[in-house]
């Protein structure tokens, strides 16, 4: 049976958006997204909330193969047309994370057309691991993430060279989210 | 308080909010870059803050406390109307106290009191393109932003100095955001420009008629354009506020009679009242 989306679409979407906005404007700070949401197996509540908040019929979405329950739920509630990894506005990553450069990068004149990668990870903590600097950060923030490809930092450094083009990443783990806007610099702490 | 049941919460429909929210997120991730969005018709004319209202409506929640200022004042037509609009369609708490507000919508000023984390400043922007007086074609200015080619603006400032001995821009003074994008700070006085630099609060800009949204994330470098031998100097009337005596706030000049009488008062009414209360 299809599981429900937001019980209160207006206020829960607003609360989720403010958490995402806070995460995006303060990269590395972990936000708690504690909504009573019961998404299908394979989809964390935070990820489900981000999808319900941002994706709709106006945005294209790439869902990974497999994870049929999650895909069906997302298609039903968001109604987003599906697209290839290289075309989609939002790219969902559940287990395997696609290489950043395979996503839509935007152009120098229209960097806002770049894709947003919404990524489900195993662990998200404000702890030693990465050291983040850049807009939104006073001094530096620390973030520990488990579940990203081993060469993620190399991919990120490569994409930083092309700024303002590049992919923005929203990381979700359980009820927690953090974001990596393309403007942020990341290094091992 | 509850909102008028005849409207969706905060007036806009949910699809429009999602569209504005996506634009806001992209604006935050590329600080200073103007992101186009599908501005809607609002129940007030373009030029009265339709862009700011749409941004505010898209971020506002029932737990927020809203403050609206127009040229620093809480009690002018535009500020009162927009505050009443949101207390009707969103039922949110409103305040005139800068310190109590979580969302501050502003037309042409930044409050004197330093803003903190947890606050969002929403600017109403009439013309988001800083280069529009120098290059009227948007296709060209887009390319200039893409190439970070801002020589034209430096030449303009240089010509000001050659002609007047100083930069003749007192408001809407262009800034560089995070060393990449030239940005219009909206017509705030140049006096307010330094407050944008490294501000702990998030700054969002909405231009309704021009259909653009842009942003400055917290703790982001915002530098007013200048030259080494002609550093940026914010201007302030050389007087004290007639009501509170402040010598460090931005002042409005008020003509009192037809015999040349005038006085200077704080443009930020909350700042002025707080100081008067403290003095009593």
Question: Which CATH number covers residue A67?
Answer: 3.40.50.11310
Number of domains present in the structure of chain A: 1
**Has residue B197 got a pLDDT over 90?**
yes
Structural domain contains residue A1: no
Provide the pLDDT for residue A66. Answer: 84
Please give the full DSSP string across B180-233, using - where no structure is assigned. Answer: TEEE---S-BGGGHHHHTT-SSEEEEEETTTTEEEEE-TT--EEE--BTTB---
**Has residue B1 got a pLDDT over 80?**
no
Confidence of residue A1 (pLDDT cuts 50, 70, 90): confident
Q: What is the DSSP letter of A2?
A: P
Residues of B with catalytic function: 32, 241, 244, 266, 272
Query: Residue A37's domain spans which residues?
Result: 9-188
Q: For a pLDDT cut of 70, what percent of chain A falls above it?
A: 100
Structural domain contains residue A38: yes
A174 CB within 8 Å of a chain B CB = no
Structural domain contains residue A81: yes
Give per-residue pLDDT as tens, B165-184: 999 899 999 999 999 999 99
Q: Which residue of B has its CA nearest to A113?
A: B26
Range A40-57 burial, b when 16+ CB lie within 10 A, else e: bebbbbbbbbbbbbbbbe
Give per-residue pLDDT as tens, B135-168: 999 999 999 999 999 999 999 999 999 999 999 8
Give per-residue pLDDT as tens, A2-22: 899 999 999 999 999 999 999
- Residue B157 · residue B227 · CB < 8 Å: yes
Across residues A116-144, what is the average pLDDT? 96
Which of B9, B35, B217 is opposite residue A25, by nearest beta carbon?
B217
Q: Which residue of A has its CA nearest to B197?
A: A135
CB contacts of B19 in chain A (<8 Å) are 58
The residue length of chain A stands at 189
Q: What is the ipTM of this complex?
A: 0.98
- Classify domain B14-133+159-224 by CATH number: 3.40.50.11310
Task: Please name the helix (run of DSSP H) or strand (run of DSSP E) that holds residue A176, with its range, or none.
Answer: strand A176-180
Structural domain contains residue A181: yes
Domain locations in chain B as residue ranges: 14-133+159-224, 236-280
Structural domain contains residue A4: no
Chain B closest-CA separation from residue A168 CA (Å) = 7
Alpha-helical regions (H) of chain A: 9-25, 45-54, 68-78, 152-160
């Amino acid at each position: 049976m299809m599981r429900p989306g937001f019980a209160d679409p207006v206020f829960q979407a607003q609360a989720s958006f403010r958490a995402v906005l806070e995460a995006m404007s303060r990269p590395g700070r972990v936000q708690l997204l504690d909504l009573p949401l019961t998404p299908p197996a394979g989809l964390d509540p935070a990820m489900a909330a981000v999808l319900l908040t941002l994706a709709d019929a106006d945005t294209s979405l790439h869902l990974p193969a497999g994870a049929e329950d999650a895909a069906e739920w997302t298609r039903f509630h968001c109604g987003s047309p599906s697209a290839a990894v290289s075309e989609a506005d939002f790219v969902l990553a559940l287990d395997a994370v696609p290489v950043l450069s395979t996503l839509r990068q935007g152009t120098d004149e229209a960097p806002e057309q770049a894709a947003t990668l919404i990524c489900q990870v195993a662990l998200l903590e404000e702890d030693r691991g990465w050291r983040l600097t850049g807009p939104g950060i006073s001094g530096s923030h620390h973030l520990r993430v488990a579940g990203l490809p081993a060469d993620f930092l190399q991919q990120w450094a490569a994409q930083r060279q092309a700024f303002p083009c590049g992919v923005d990443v929203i990381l979700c783990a359980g009820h927690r989210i953090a974001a990596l806007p393309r403007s942020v610099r990341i290094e091992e702490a | 308080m509850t909102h008028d049941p005849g409207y969706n919460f905060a007036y806009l429909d949910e699809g429009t909010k999602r569209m504005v929210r996506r634009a806001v997120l992209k604006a935050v991730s590329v600080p200073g870059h103007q992101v186009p969005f599908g501005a809607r018709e609002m129940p007030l004319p373009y030029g009265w803050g339709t862009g700011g209202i749409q941004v505010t409506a898209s971020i506002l929640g029932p737990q927020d406390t809203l403050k609206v200022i127009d040229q620093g004042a809480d009690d002018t037509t535009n500020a009162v109307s927009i505050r009443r609009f949101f207390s009707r369609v969103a039922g949110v708490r409103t305040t005139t106290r800068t310190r109590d507000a979580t969302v501050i919508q502003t037309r042409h000023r930044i409050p004197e009191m330093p803003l903190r984390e947890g606050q969002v400043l929403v600017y109403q922007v009439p013309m988001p393109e800083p280069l529009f007086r120098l290059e009227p074609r948007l296709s060209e200015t887009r390319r200039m932003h893409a190439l970070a080619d801002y020589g034209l603006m430096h030449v303009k400032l240089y010509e000001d100095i050659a002609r007047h001995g100083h930069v003749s821009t007192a408001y809407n003074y262009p800034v560089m955001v995070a060393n990449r994008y030239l940005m219009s700070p909206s017509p705030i006085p140049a006096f307010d420009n330094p407050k944008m630099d490294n501000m702990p609060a998030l700054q969002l800009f909405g231009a309704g008629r021009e259909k653009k949204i842009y942003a400055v994330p917290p703790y982001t470098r915002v530098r007013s354009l200048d030259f080494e031998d002609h550093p940026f100097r914010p201007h302030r009337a050389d007087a004290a506020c007639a009501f509170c005596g402040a010598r460090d706030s931005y002042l409005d000049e008020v003509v009192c009679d037809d015999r040349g009488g005038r006085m200077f008062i704080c443009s930020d009414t909350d700042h002025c009242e707080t100081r008067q209360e403290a003095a009593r």
